Structure 1
Amino acid sequence: MKEMVMILPASAYNALGNVRTIPRLAAARHGDQIWLRGISPHQPEKALRQLPVLHTYLLDAEERLFLPGKRTPHSALPYLSWEPMFSFIKAELPMSALPARLQERYMPVLAPSGVPAEVQALLTSLQTWKEYAETAPLIRLQRLRFAATEVGQVLITGTPLPPIPGKAYTIRYNILLPAGYDFDLPAVASLTAARLNPENDALLLFHVNGQWERIPAQNFVRATRSAIRLTHSVT
């Protein structure tokens, strides 16, 4: 058997962000399902094994589908419009806006803070990030994760952060604040997180002017040279 094929429900689209950078992985829509191919039948990556898979098949050279452990074909691979995973799933930092009524009640205001805080995130250019990663020790990269935008920026999280130019951020309640700044009323941070990120499944990146972006946790991938090169090549 030359590869494995996985079938997922269409509702699992967002979960595919965790496998976006796996080489040779391709995806296609088929009705209310998403099909994946290009998977090694011997040892699929851990991230693939964690997907909400409906069915798994083995594919032979004649594109016949077999159930695992069976020698008789179950069916043939349908003709589908396959896309590389990095184009099927876009890496981005989705923009968000405060609901109008909420903005009337509370408009986020940041002010300089005299309280020191550890820097835990860095916003820099994708080109700068790639140039650093090409020669960085692997042990440094393994401690980092990143999410990229389609306009050539990348947000890096983890410690220690790379010594490259960029905007530094601190993290509190999953809120990213520019280093040296805090809410004008620091106690509001926990309330803001509870209101804007109730599921605690994203990072909220605030700018000095009070504008903010919601970055789903699934948009972040582990920092590897291959993942960074792939992201650079398609952004």
Structure 2
Amino acid sequence: MYYVELHKSHLEYLAPIRHWDNLKLAFEGERAFIKDFTPLQINDVVLLQIPHIIVYELKEQLLFRKDKLVPTKKLPSALLWMPILNALPIDLPKYNMNYFGIHDKIDIKIVKSEAEQKPYGVITKLENVKGYIETLPQVRLQNLKWIIIEDSILFLGTPLLPIKGQTYWLKDNCLFPTGYALEFDVLFPIIKKQLNPNNDSMLLFQNNNSYLSIPLSDCKPLSLSSFRLTVNE
């Protein structure tokens, strides 16, 4: 049987596993213990990315750090176990996001990722595609949306057009450069809630840790007529 331990002050980081309703949680002083993980859950990347946790395996009432041969301590006795849904608050903590390192604010960092990501968007200069788009049949454009951002165009959908530009992958209305991801994916629900509370925008993240909020209503279906009308204005 596996256990997870962390300090009570870090309980908010358990938000991504709160829906694992088979788990039980108990407190001992300022420490919290969680048990009843399945073999899949204890090795799930969602759990392992949670900051400040310690994973133990229980053997003869002794807690061994995962894959260690020497016990760390005894399992505390008389713990009052409760479903994790009852132990954790529903509301996530409120953070003030920004990118300038001001005290009490989280830095959002985009880092290189080895995970395979399917491109969903591509951004390129208008001059690179103006002549090309007008040569395509409408059937090739019917699954795509687009939006002009200054002197560039963002195309969204699959299959993408084979054009030169920066590609992006999609996660819950957030676009990340292909080959990059959030440094701590476990914070994604918190970041998204703060930056896009109404879920009515698409967040375009750049690998320089900046982002652009694009109203979903501004992303229009791509057609030859709408393209010609817009670019020739």
Q: Secondary structure of the residue that 1:107 maps to in structure 2?
A: coil
Letter in 2 for 1:174: N
Q: Which runs of 5+ in 1 are unaligned?
A: 1-96
Where does 1:115-194 land on structure 2 (aligned, <5 Å)? 115-149=115-149, 151-194=150-193
Calculate the TM-score normalised by the size of structure 1: 0.54
Q: Residue 16 of structure 1 corresponds to which residue in structure 2?
A: none
Q: CA deviation at 1:125?
A: 1.3
Partners of 1:197 and 1:187 lie apart in 2 by 17
Shift of 1:104: 4.5
Structure 1 residue 191 displacement after superposition = 1.8
Listed one character per residue, the Cα deviations across residues 184-203 of structure 1 (whole Å, up to 9, x for unaligned) are 11122222111111111110
Q: 1:99 to 1:164 in 2, by over 3 A?
A: closer
Q: What secondary structure, in the 3-state scheme, does the structure 2 residue paired with 1:229 have?
A: helix
**Mind listing any 5+ residue stretches in structure 2 that lack a counterpart?**
1-96
Q: Distance in 2 between matches of 1:169 and 1:230?
A: 26
CA distance in 2, matches of 1:104, 1:129: 44
Distance 1:176 1:104, change over 3 A: farther
Q: How many residues align?
A: 137
Question: Is residue 133 of structure 2 the alignment partner of residue 109 of structure 1?
Answer: no
Q: Write the distance in 2 (CA, Å) between the matches of 1:129 and 1:140.
A: 14
Cα distance per residue 1:69-97 (max 9 Å; x no partner): xxxxxxxxxxxxxxxxxxxxxxxxxxxx9
Whether the aligned pair in 2 keeps the contact of 1:177 and 1:205 (CA below 8 Å) is yes
Q: Distance in 2 between matches of 1:141 and 1:103?
A: 47
- Rg (Cα) greater in structure: 2
Displacement of 1:211 in angstroms is: 0.7
1:155-234 alignment to 2 at 5 Å?
155-234=154-233
**Aligned counterparts of 2:103 and 2:139: Cα–Cα separation in 1:** 43
Root mean square deviation, CA, Å: 2.1
Give the structure 1 partner of residue 78 of structure 2.
Answer: none
Structure 1 residues 99 and 180, CA, compared in 2 at 3 Å: closer, same or farther?
closer
- Residue 197 of structure 1 aligns with an amino acid whose one-letter code is N
Residue 156 of structure 1 deviates from its aligned partner by 0.7
Q: Is the 8 A contact 2:144 2:155 kept in 1?
A: yes
Kindly provide the CA deviation profile for residues 94-143 of structure 1, in whole angstroms up to 9, marking residues without a partner as x. xxx94989885211101100110110001111222322211112111001
Alignment CA distance shift 1:226-1:104 (3 Å): farther
Please tell me whether the aligned partners of residues 127 and 232 of structure 1 are also in contact (alpha carbons under 8 angstroms).
no
Cα shift at 1:173: 1.8
Note closer, same or farther for the CA distance 1:226–1:209 as it changes in structure 2 (3 Å cut).
same
Superposed CA offset, 1:3-50 (max 9, x none): xxxxxxxxxxxxxxxxxxxxxxxxxxxxxxxxxxxxxxxxxxxxxxxx
Cα distance change of structure 1 residues 112 and 99 upon mapping to structure 2, 3 Å threshold: closer
Asked if 2 retains the 8 angstrom alpha-carbon contact of 1:173 and 1:189, the reply is: no
TM-score of the superposition, structure 2-length normalised? 0.55
Percent same amino acid among aligned pairs? Answer: 30
Give the Cα separation in 2 of the matches to 1:118 and 1:102.
35
Q: CA deviation at 1:171?
A: 0.8
